[in-house]
Amino acid sequence: MTFVTRFAPSPTGPLHLGHAYSALVAHDMARAAGGQFLLRIEDIDHTRSRLHWEEQIYDDLAWLGISWDKAPLRQSDRGLAYQEALQALWGRDLLYPCKCTRRDIAAATSAPQEGAGPAYGPDGLLYPGTCRATRVSGALPMPRDTALRLNMDMALGVLGDYEHFGFDETLPEDHRVRFTPRDLQRGVGDIVLSRRDFSGSYHLSVVLDDAVQSVTHVVRGQDLFEATQIHVVLQRLFGLKTPTYTHHRLIRDASGARLAKRDDARAIATYRAEGASPTDIRRMVGLI
């Protein structure tokens, strides 16, 4: 089986040292395995994505010595695929419309609970299920003017009586990751799969895009480790293969915070302008 991995940045700001590390690790792994390295532009958020940032991505990666083996896949060209996947889940009664705002969720979860504070999951505050009772039959048209959430309890019921789910199945038994349906119910909840202002979500699109690009190995940051269990569930619902996952360390600033796109001081373009070389970047992120 050919080793296929990818780098999937969003064109919402400049690439920084953390992006350089992730791209270089994935690229080096693909080349060492004699496999393929692919590029995906995750521009599904049309409110923040900009063409000039996309062009900067291509330029910075090429400067780093990174090449990709096929034309980049752009999520903005994949809207129909996301709609069809949502429709399939809607037809199985696995989605429900939700009109709650972040403020609504914060208010609903701020009520004092005995012995516990608000619960957090991979997407932030755990959704309390406010709109779950508004679930509409999949025989009716799927609404397009509201967010759509996955009913996790229903999804787990469709998937069957699993004692646990898992990923990294190619690793030795003692290195594999396991999580239970209860973990998903208590620690993930009813995630958003489509928002009112754009079709799809990160969770939905990344699963479908990895499948269409035949990705066998996903290389990404430790900050996405908790999200991987969501992706495994979606892969099971759609009958897709689960890739092997590598969650690498994060590049952090002097205070220990992980880098963000607003931190222009650590942007690759800034280092380039100051005369740094690709070798210097590798040294900065600990690859030399």
Do both 114 and 235 map to the same domain?
Answer: yes
Q: Does 259 score more than 60 pLDDT? A: yes
Do both 153 and 259 map to the same domain?
Answer: no
- Over range 179-183, report the average pLDDT: 92
Q: Does 141 score more than 60 pLDDT? A: yes
Residue 135 lies inside a defined structural domain of this protein: yes
Say what the pTM is: 0.91
Residue 209 lies inside a defined structural domain of this protein: no
Residue 279 lies inside a defined structural domain of this protein: yes
Q: Does 270 score more than 90 pLDDT? A: yes
Q: What is the pLDDT of residue 198?
A: 74
pLDDT band with cut points at 50, 70 and 90 for residue 245: very high
Dump pLDDT digits (tens) for 4-51.
999 999 999 999 999 999 999 999 999 999 999 999 999 988 888 999
Residue 250 burial (CB count, 10 A)? 15
- Whole-angstrom Cα distance, residue 257 to residue 250? 9
Q: What is the CA radius of gyration of the chain?
A: 20
Dump pLDDT digits (tens) for 189-208.
999 999 887 778 999 999 99
Do both 196 and 268 map to the same domain?
Answer: no
Q: What is the pLDDT of residue 199?
A: 75
Do both 56 and 39 map to the same domain?
Answer: yes
DSSP string for 205-254: HHHHHHHHTT--EEEEEGGGTTTHHHHHHHHHHHTPPPPEEEEEPPPB-T
Strand blocks (E) in the chain:
4-7, 36-41, 73-74, 95-98, 120-121, 124-125, 147-150, 165-167, 177-179, 192-194, 217-221, 244-248
- Look up the domain containing 48 and give its range: 1-77+252-288
pLDDT band with cut points at 50, 70 and 90 for residue 111: low
For the chain, the farthest-separated pair of C-alpha atoms sits apart, in whole angstroms, at 61
- Whole-angstrom Cα distance, residue 258 to residue 223? 9
Do both 41 and 177 map to the same domain?
Answer: no
- Whole-angstrom Cα distance, residue 220 to residue 246? 6
Per DSSP, the three-state class of 267 is strand
CATH at 37: 3.40.50.620
Do both 6 and 95 map to the same domain?
Answer: no
Mean pLDDT of the chain: 90
Residue 31 lies inside a defined structural domain of this protein: yes
Q: Does 123 score more than 70 pLDDT? A: yes
Q: Does 262 score more than 90 pLDDT? A: no
CATH at 98: 3.90.800
Do both 234 and 260 map to the same domain?
Answer: no
Residue with the larger pLDDT of the pair 12 and 261 = 12
Residue 114 burial (CB count, 10 A)? 4
Do both 111 and 24 map to the same domain?
Answer: no
